Structure formats: structure tokens, C-alpha cells
Amino acid sequence: MPAKKPATKKAAGPAPKATGSAKTESRTALVRRARKINRELAETYPYAHPELDFENPFQLVLATVMSAQTTDLRVNQTTPALFAKYPTPEDLAAADPEEVEELIRPTGFFRAKTRSIMGLAKALREDFGGEVPGRLEDLVKLPGVGRKTAFVVLGNAFGRPGITVDTHFGRLVRRWKWTEETDPDKVEKAVGELFPKSDWTMLSHHVIFHGRRMCHARKPACGVCPIAPLCPAYGEGETDPEKAKKLLKYEKGGFPGQRLKPPQSYLDAGGIPAPPLTGTPGDTTG
């Protein structure tokens, strides 16, 4: 694939704060700034993708439910054995709960998650002919599936636009003054109004990738951030480019990613697959 510009190109030195604020920025200016941020992130992370390993909608919905209160990496290290033993909803619905608990124990809260994924499998078997439905209103009826999980499945397994408001997404859009809302449903609505629906799924990936790799909660790597001139929070983190580089995670910092089987575009860009559960745990920060 063609080489992309490095993340440091636009932020080699001190960057001006974004013009305007949550109180003075016009609606038109906000929309323009938000869309420009997304375009810049798309250039920085052209290989952005869902960071859960899956091969079909059933695997994706299980992995997403299991990702609560843990990292995608830990889920990816755990699901191969689960998927191999229970490849269909019918298989999982008929499983011994104690055996499922042992398989998913590394993800934490394994008893509650076992109830959710087995209940989900039973619902798919009994109400949807063993197939994961492709409609929001059906997905949210499944045990353990809320709007966030439903949009992950719709956007990445069915190609239907959706905004995934996880911890990273909510934190960054508030940092960027796209919204002051904290409720995920309200964040979803507010941000969705800034972009065409066709952008929603990839927007989610771009923002989440940036939050995991560069714009960290406690110490953002401001000095190498490609959107520094557009960010009202520039300066909250490390602004020295050399020091900021040391804060980068995953492929940006030369470390393994979250997926054991990442997309080829990620590998082509220099991404390193995560190790299996039996190997070296690696970086498990979310």
C-alpha cells in the first residue's frame, strides 16, 4: 500500500490551540472541525479496524459481549478455544456452563459473561433460526447486547452504519468539545449529527484507535498528535515531540496490537500481531 505520512509531520513543534471553544464555536465551525479531525485520523490510521478477532457475526457478538471490563487483546487470546469448541449458537446453547466458564475465565466476570453468551446463543437458536439478526431492534433484545455492542456488530459484520461509544470514544469527543454529554446514547446522538451516516462506522474506529495509541486518558502524546492544531485540549499532555514518541502504544510505538489475526492492511503498515494466550501476554492495556 502507498506510504502514509508519519504522525509527527504536523506536530513537530508547538501547536496552536484550536480556535473557538464549546461556548464560542459556531455550529458550522464545529462540524467543519470535527470532519477535518476525522479526515486527519483516517490518514494517520488508514488500517483502522475492529480490534476483536472474528470470522462471522456470531463470533463478533460473542467477543463483543465478552470484552466488557477487559481488553480486546485478552478476549482475542481467549476466544479461539471457545469458537473451536462451540462454533454455532446451537452448540453453545447446549454447552455445560462450567466448561464455558473455564474457557472464558481469563476475561474476568466469567460467570456473568457465561450466562450472557449462553443466553444469547439460546435466543438465537429459539428466536432467530440460529442466525445473528442484522437489525438494531432485534440485536438489543439479546442477553448482554446493548446499543454499543449492537452497533459494533451492525457496522463490522453487516456493513450498516453505527457509532460505537466506548470509553475511548466518549473521552476523546468530550476532549475535542464535540459534545459535553456523558451518557453514551446522548453522545451517540450528538456526534452522529456532526457526520453523514456513511462515516459513522469508520469514525468510531478512527477515534478509538487514536484513544488507544496516542490520546491517552492520563498523559496524551500531544507532541506527535496529527490533530494538535484542531484540538482544544492541546497541551494537557506531553508536548515535546521526543518525549511524546515514548508514550505511543501498539504499532505506533513498535509494539504488538490487539488482534492475533489482524487485517492484512494492518500488517502491511507495520502492525505486529498479538501473541496467543499461551505466549507472552504482551501489552494488555486497553
Active site residues: 148, 166
Strand partners, 256: 272
Say how many CA atoms lie within 13 Å of 184 toward its Cβ: 13
Quick check: 215 and 225 in contact, CB under 8 A?
yes
Residue type present at position 191: V
Distance CA 140, CA 269 (A): 35
Quick check: 260 and 279 in contact, CB under 8 A?
no
Grid cell listed for 95: 454447552
Distance CA 3, CA 69 (A): 36
Quick check: 190 and 178 in contact, CB under 8 A?
yes
